Amino acid sequence: MSDKPAVLVARKVFPEVVQRLAQHFEVEDNPEDHIHSPEELTARLQGKAGAFVTLSERIDAALLDAHPQLRAVCNMAVGYNNIDVAACSARGVLVSNTPDVLTETTADFGFALMMATARRITESERFLREGRWDRWAYDMFAGSDIHGATLGILGMGRIGQGIARRGALGFGMKVVYHNRSRLPAEQEAPLGARYVDKETLLRESDHLVVVVPYAPATHHSIGAAELARMKPTATLTNIARGGVVDDAALAQALREGRIAAAGLDVFEGEPRVHPALLALRNVVLTPHIASATVATRRAMADLAADNLIAALTGGVPPTPVNPQVLAR
């Protein structure tokens, strides 16, 4: 028997990262990338002191109660709505996430998705591939401008600010935002960003990008009532979490032309996608890949591993979500 603590790496990740963890731990990994049911996850956590998890693994009170030996849950994601942090804290289980390392990559993608949506890139590509392009036409796939337009940001955290920076400094967009709290003046000023109430944000945005974390308080932050307040020419981009936008209400608003188009990287109940969205032409749909560059995914995996190693070897985890657990 080894005296190394045992850990679970719940999903397939970079072999180099698994090897690094194996220098410190008895690692049970998942090279076949099997998606575990809650029962299977509970079974695989048997005897594990730590878990390297992703958004696909739900860590709740029942699972924690079945595993009192568990001391650290390290998420390879900046968002952690898959983890009941309060239940972890109450049981002294450290939770960590992967902020900062994915900010710029995710902001790049959010901006690209917004542009693809406004300029109808995937819709026009489908048309071309289907062999339907036989002439020039004055209004063929005419979309809406990015430069000079009003960029609305719901959720002005690190990623929201990254998108605002791209819009203001790169494309001459006017930036309006709504957030739990207003940014300090020295952060607003270089972007010319204007803090507005949600009503004004919805009314003024030509391109609204949603970047708030998911929590009960942000559930369906954009639903039928909010969509009704937007411009009929506006686009909506969601790179936050499924559930922040009401997908059924969005599909209906898009069908009825109440907004022009939507770009969605996240979905309620993903990897399933609402069939009403799949039936629309004025949507750009991507499979939750905003952080997916090789370098950023590697940095996220390394940071999750750094947290796990520190948490279980007496070090200081770099990015804890519930640092109060460490003080005990």
78 binds ligand 8YV (CB under 6 A): yes
Q: Which of positions 93-112 make contact with ligand 8YV (CB under 6 A)?
A: 102
Q: Which stretch binds ligand 8YV (CB under 6 A): 75-83, 147-155, 189-197, 202-210?
A: 75-83
Comparing CA positions, the residue from 166, 155, 157 lying closest to residue 113 is: 166
Q: How far is the CB of 302 from ligand 8YV (least distance, A)?
A: 14
Is-contact 266 237, C-beta < 8 A? no
Judged by CB, which is closer to ligand 8YV: 150, or 296? 296
Interacting residues of 310 by C-beta distance below 8 A, sequence separation 6+ = 316, 317, 318
Residue window 258-287: x/- pattern of binding to ligand 8YV, with contact defined by CB under 6 A: ------------------------------
Among 18, 45, 72, 77, binds ligand 8YV (CB under 6 A): 77
At its nearest, how many Å lie between ligand 8YV and the CB of residue 8?
Answer: 15
The catalytically annotated residue of 158, 203, 288, 298 is 288
**Is 147 among the residues known to form the active site?**
no
Three-state secondary-structure class, residue 207: strand
The answer to whether residue 42 forms part of the interface with ligand 8YV (CB under 6 A) is no
Q: Tell which one of 76, 93, 260, 321 touches ligand 8YV (CB under 6 A).
A: 76
Task: Enumerate long-range contacts of 69-76, CB under 8 Å, 24 or more apart.
Answer: 70/45, 71/311, 71/312, 72/96, 72/307, 72/308, 72/311, 72/312, 72/317, 74/50, 74/304, 74/305, 74/307, 74/308, 74/311, 74/317, 75/304, 75/321, 76/11, 76/13, 76/52, 76/300, 76/301, 76/304
CA gap 264, 57 in Å, rounded: 22
Binding residue (CB under 6 A) for ligand 8YV from 21, 41, 51, 55: 55
CA distance 316 to 217: 31
Minimum CB–partner distance for residue 46 and ligand 8YV (Å): 23
- 14, 54 in Cβ contact below 8 A? no
Rounded CA separation 49/9 (Å) = 11
Which range of residues in 42-50, 74-82, 116-124, 217-225 is near ligand 8YV by CB under 6 A?
74-82
- Other CB atoms within 10 Å distance of the CB of residue 121: 17
Q: Which of 36, 241, 258, 274 is catalytic?
A: 241
Residues in the interface with ligand 8YV (CB under 6 A) total 8
Structural element, H or E, at residue 282 = none
**Residue 298 is a catalytic residue:** no
Give me the catalytic one of 188, 270, 274, 297. 270
Catalytic: 270?
A: yes
Residue 102 or 116 having the CB closest to ligand 8YV: 102
When asked if residue 54 is in the footprint of ligand 8YV (CB under 6 A), the reply is yes
Binding site for ligand 8YV (CB under 6 A): 54-55, 76-79, 102, 291
Kindly list the catalytic residues: 241, 270, 288
